[in-house]
Amino acid sequence: MEIIDTFAEARSLNRGTVGFAPTLGFVHEGHLSLIERARRETDHVLVSLFVNPLQFGEGEDFAAYPRQLDRDARLIESAGADVLFAPAAEEMYPVEPATTVDVAPLAAHLDGVARPTHFAGVATVVAKYFAGLRPDQAYFGRKDAQQLAIITRMAADLSMPVDVIGCPTIREHDGLALSSRNVYLQERERDQALSLSQGLMAAADRVDAGERSGPALELIVRETVPTFEFEYVAVMNRATVTPLAVLDRPAFLAVAGRVGKARLVDNIHFDFQNGEVSVDRGVRLTGPSLLYEQ
């Protein structure tokens, strides 16, 4: 695997179809699953590692976000990447950008309320990746459902020649959705954090049993863990990220809440085929995540 730090170098190394997986670093099995899928489906696998300042708001953990290039490079290479693009801030933003990308209608709810500048920062950096790296296929986790919807819509609206592919959420062995921020959780906080996935799985079971009411599913989540203070619980149309009263099209049920100093998000996706709904609960690890390896 080659490690490079400029867009020009990345383009010069591309061969055949290019699969791309963007990361902020502090790699875990969720990131590795994207790389492994890209390895199976494309000729040349490119991974980015950049902690993007535009997507962190005031008071968020930009300065504290874990940065371990040697560790991450080793794991990214083991998953099958050909190239790691690890640019300096000066390569990504040689001057303060006068142009940004904001898919405002899809950011009007959920995390767009709690983090009003976040998605414009995400969309802008991903647009730069798509323009500067020119991937054919880009892989994103379904765990960040609103982000995936925004990137998919951005690529379509701007006629970007890239297929945006959503991949299943990877969960820890106890069901907690994998996130680099899970390392912030104290031992006593972990049971509280599991409230998010426990509520979602209870709702998933009710969908399997025939429930199709959006408000009813939201209530099931809240009643499953009544002691947890959810920031939001919402069934959303996957294409528009707007509330959905009846589960009759592709959608997701999203939850968020703060546990200690970690703000956690999670969701399950509802897929439709021939009018039948199936629930994507994600994929569980069978043992502890490599996040906790020293």
Q: Given this model, what pLDDT does residue 53 score?
A: 85
Q: What is the model's pLDDT at position 65?
A: 72
Q: What is the pLDDT at residue 15?
A: 81
Residue linked to tokens 């009263």: 245
Mean per-residue pLDDT pooled into runs of 10, the chain (294 residues): 95 90 93 98 97 79 75 96 96 93 95 92 96 97 97 98 98 96 90 96 98 98 96 98 97 96 95 94 96 80
pLDDT of residue 57: 74
> Which residues are the active-site residues?
31
191: number of Cβ within 10 Å? 12
Q: pLDDT value at position 255?
A: 98
Q: pLDDT per residue over 97-115, tens digit each?
A: 999 999 999 999 999 998 8
According to the model, what pLDDT value does residue 24 have?
A: 87
Q: Write down all domains in the chain, each with its CATH number in brackets.
A: 2-167 (3.40.50.620), 180-285 (3.30.1300.10)
What the block records as the tokens of 248 is 């009759």
- The tokens describing 103, both together, are 């898919």
Q: Dihedral, CA atoms, 211, 216, 221, 224, nearest 10 degrees?
A: -90
Confidence at residue 17, expressed as pLDDT on a 0 to 100 scale:
97
Determine the 3-state secondary structure of 69 from DSSP: helix
Note the Cα 289 to chain centre separation in Å. Answer: 17
Question: Which residues make beta-bridge pairs with 266?
Answer: 255
- The pLDDT of residue 32 is 98
Q: What's at 212, amino acid-wise?
A: R
Contacts of 13 by beta carbon, 8 Å cutoff, 6+ apart? 2, 4, 44, 82, 83
Neighbours of 188 (CB within 10 A): 8
